[in-house]
Structure 1
Amino acid sequence: MRLTHGGAVWLMVVVTLMWGTAGVVTRHLAQAHSFEITFWRSLFTTLALLVILPLWRGRAVFSQLRRGGRELWISGVCWAVMFTAFMVALTLASTASVLVTMSLGPLLTALAARIFIGHRLPARTWLAIVVAGAGIGWMYGTQLMQGGGGSLAGTLLALCVPLAGAANWTVVQHAQAKGHRIDLVPAVLIGAVITALFTLPFAWPFKAGAHDLGLLAFLGVFQLAIPCVLSVLCAQVLKAPEVALLALLEVVFGIALAWIGAGEQPAPSVLAGGALVIGALVFNELLALRGRRTTVADTAVPGAH
């Protein structure tokens, strides 16, 4: 069944809402610590994808793991970096700081296209990069002046998510240029497995009780595995600027849910810096939609994390 354009838009809204639950759910964990949170989430994501993939693509999907080549596994490593950095950053910084930082993904991807592939960037994208950089600088600088060492460390760690996303996009584009198509969902499965194996030594001994395991299972299945699959379906119908614009709803949903559901009120500096970042992104993607065609630099890998 192929989605209609309207159906893809609404489904992408649901996807961003599911992604946005990470912060509020994490704040209700009682005993699990940073690497343990990351381990269990990735383990439950792995188990969910092992069920979803054969039902969706058939058992032949697992043969792609053997035939995918080096680029598929490099993409999997990029996903692993995103998964780990995102969850650990959430334990160190506010949900708003992490989500605003991660929203830089489309602009860092455009920079990667310019640096590594040589694509020319339109003036609107350069302007958006400057404005978004000012917003992030304001947010980081305020945290530094206020002595929020842990919060600043978490926000800096969150920067690894869009950086790894830009690297992932570069790998995917390089593979496609050579005639090799990377299937993103098996790459996500590889990333989840790598993350679980990497964080296991740091997660031991486990402290999570039944309450925490239930929440972590929710994160693995409903916050990551299922929306990851749905976002790939949406990206097959929607233009890249549309996906980028709709993905910004995760920032809105994530901050609102953490505020309402966990009492985590965002700092004024985060709201001010975030307004600059989001405004720059909206400006860039709206102009891209108004253009006659979307450039390769406007194309981004769906940002599950």
Structure 2
Amino acid sequence: MSASAPAAKPDPARSARRGLTHSRAVGLMVLVTLMWATAGVVTRQLERAASFEVTFWRSFFTLLAMVLILGAWRGRGLWRSLREGGRHLWISGACWSVMFTAFMVALTLTTTANVLVTLATGPLLAALAARLFIGHRLPARTWAAIAVAGAGIAWMYGAQIGDDGALAGTLVALCVPIAGACHWTNVQQAHASGADVDLLPAVLIGAAVSAACTLPLAWPFTASGRDLALLGFLGVFQLAIPCMLSMMAAGVLKAPEVALLALLEVLFGIALAWVGAGEAPAPTVFSGGLLVIGALVANEWLGWRAARGQR
């Protein structure tokens, strides 16, 4: 079928989901988390690129990959979805841009473990945002999980008060789950109003905004050829491709399953940075991280059991 009739053109991602079994979706999500987890160890191999230049190149390569891949998949339908997506699409794109930018800046300021444990609070912050802005009622288990996870993050922050760089990095990292909570609240509001946010174009918008905003701050460029190759890897294989694969897996898996499997990024990321870059996590990160991850696992597992019991 020709690209001149995008309305009749099947969505390859949706077609791929139809042939995806549950076990394969689980395996795909595990692969996605492993790809996401390479950010820390790869960043530690950079020679000269730093801070906003790292962020710019990663976002730029992500944008390039998304344009090429989505353009091949959707043809002119991609550009139509960008034109007609409405405010919810662009709000979502703005949230993605904050996530892309804050994540990489945080990695240049503090350890991989600090960043990833902070990111693990995302599902709980999203639940809290839904309560505050949409009126979703939260069960007692989720309130308890938010309190425990908050204690874990506070413990990590308290241990970093004397280290301005680590504390700044963790605070910047906290922008990622906050932006993620705003993103999912926006998606739920769009769905409630009868519209759906096309998430892949939103990721593309996020990469474009992130690259545009960090370009002035990244100039003049100092990255070596090796740095560009590593940042190209991050843009394509750590972000663009796993983002699309995760959308396929999420079409088959239930939300609690996705949330639990996504925690593997924390474990993989810390392990890769430890083995590949000698970045051993501090004891406070271990203890605080156990509180955060334990709270999320308990909340999602109890929610899954309650949902099964209602069938």
TM-score band, normalised by the shorter chain? over 0.9
| Residue correspondence of structure 1 range 1-305 to structure 2 within 5 A | 1=16, 2=18, 3-144=20-161, 147-292=162-307
Q: CA deviation at 1:51?
A: 1.1
Q: CA deviation at 1:288?
A: 1.3
Mapped contact 1:19–1:250 kept (Cα < 8 A): yes
How large is the Cα RMSD of the aligned pairs? 1.2
Q: After superposition, what is the alpha-carbon deviation per residue over 1:29-78, rounded to whole angstroms, capped at 9, x for unaligned?
A: 01001100000000000110011112333331221000000111111000
Q: CA deviation at 1:291?
A: 1.7
Q: CA deviation at 1:158?
A: 0.3
Q: Relative to structure 2, which stretch is displaced further, 100-109 or 59-68?
A: 59-68
Q: Counterpart of 2:46 in 1: which secondary structure?
A: coil
Q: Once the two structures are aligned, what percentage of the paired residues are identical?
A: 70
Distance in 1 (CA, whole Å) between partners of 2:309 and 2:115 is 28
Moved over 6 A (4+): none
**Corresponding residue of 1:300:** none
Q: CA deviation at 1:292?
A: 2.2
Mapped contact 1:288–1:294 kept (Cα < 8 A): no
Distance in 2 (CA, whole Å) between partners of 1:114 and 1:253 is 31
Count residues with an aligned counterpart: 293
Q: Counterpart of 2:307 in 1: which secondary structure?
A: coil
Query: Which ranges in structure 1 are unaligned for 5 or more consecutive residues?
Result: 296-305
Q: Relative to structure 2, which stretch is displaced further, 52-61 or 220-229?
A: 52-61
Per the normalisation by structure 1, the TM-score is 0.94
- Go from structure 1 to structure 2 and tell me whether the alpha carbon gap of 1:293 and 1:170 turns closer, same or farther (over 3 Å shift): farther
Q: After superposition, what is the alpha-carbon deviation per residue over 1:89-129, rounded to whole angstroms, capped at 9, x for unaligned?
A: 00001000000001000000000111001111011101111
Q: Counterpart of 1:56 in 2: which secondary structure?
A: helix
The amino acid that maps onto 2:189 is H
Q: Relative to structure 2, which stretch is displaced further, 174-183 or 149-158?
A: 174-183
